[in-house]
Amino acid sequence: MFKGSLVALITPFKDGKVDEDAFQRFVNWQIEQGTHGLVPCGTTGESPTLSHDEHKRVVELCIEAAAGRVPVIAGAGSNNTAEAVDLTLHAKKAGADGVLVVTPYYNRPTQEGLYEHFKAVNDCADIPIIIYNIPPRSVVDMSVETMARLSKLPNIVGVKDATTDLARPSLEKIACGDDFALLSGEDGTAIAYLAQGGHGCISVTANVAPKLCAMMHEAWQQSALERAQQINMQLMPLHEAMFHQRSPAGPKYGAHLLGHCSPETRLPMTPAEAKTQEIVREAMANAGLL
């Protein structure tokens, strides 16, 4: 089962192109800092503006750099089922440990359409699949009932839940079983999500504070609840700072402050503005990262 602190990796750019060296160094640093898993080519990785070739290359670079030390869950989502299948087949061939597949955005399928979309991905390759349920971005919400149907398929193993509904993990655990991986998609409510039955978090904040994020989850797993809460309180201003401006401006600027990469983003996303820079810098300093 996937659990703990899994980082939704940024994709470093340099002069408009993927900075492959910076990305692989960043992956190595994440593992050295204790991150429990890597998620390339998600929203934080600016997957909407990566070409298909770039997307696949970033997945390959991540798997190569990780070298089996921690799981790699490759972003493979699309609102085009055939495209999601293609990205999943590539991730399987490249050696990923799983794929993250978002609910189809913009075209707003029915619950039956969601089921058939994920069933098609399930049927295309023998690789663990994490459902990514994020209604604020996709404008469609997978019901617990649909998720329970999908959990019976052999490759559907969990969910990244970004609904902010803290009743969901308990309801999903009841409906899908104890072996269904429940991963929060919201740093600020990760501890509350764990308390409701969750297993981990696919984290944006871990781009700049991987050690603290990993320590928080390890403390929780060891039932050191007070310690987990202390770290959570230390991180809370940073969680907020990461989203002062639309992600990935915040985490990219934070990684830049740590010397990992350029703060460059791709349009329509823009780099951190002056106020965002100030807030991110202050939050990182208060968390002991600068």
Dump the DSSP string for 30-50: HHHTT--EEE-SSTTTTGGGS
Query: Which residue among the candidates 3, 56, 132, 252 is catalytic per the annotation?
Result: 132
Residue 123 phi, psi (nearest 5) = -80, -15
Is 160 catalytic? The answer is yes
Residue 176 contacts by C-beta under 8 Å, 6 or more apart in sequence?
147, 148, 151
What's the Cα-to-Cα distance from 210 to each of 34, 275, 289, rounded to whole Å?
7, 24, 10
Helices (H), 95-139: 111-124, 135-138
Cα(189)–Cα(174) distance, integer angstroms: 20
**Cis peptide bond upstream of 128, omega within 30:** no
Query: Which residue among the candidates 3, 56, 115, 160 is catalytic per the annotation?
Result: 160
Task: List residues bridging with 281 in a β-sheet.
Answer: none
Closest alpha carbon to 35 in 91, 73, 75, 92: 73
Helices (H), 95-158: 111-124, 135-138, 144-151
With beta carbons less than 8 A apart as the criterion, state whether 159 and 130 touch: yes
With beta carbons less than 8 A apart as the criterion, state whether 167 and 145 touch: no
Closest alpha carbon to 102 in 144, 141, 55: 141
Is 132 catalytic? The answer is yes
Check the CA dihedral 42-22-55-199 and report its sign.
negative
Residues marked active site are found at 132, 160
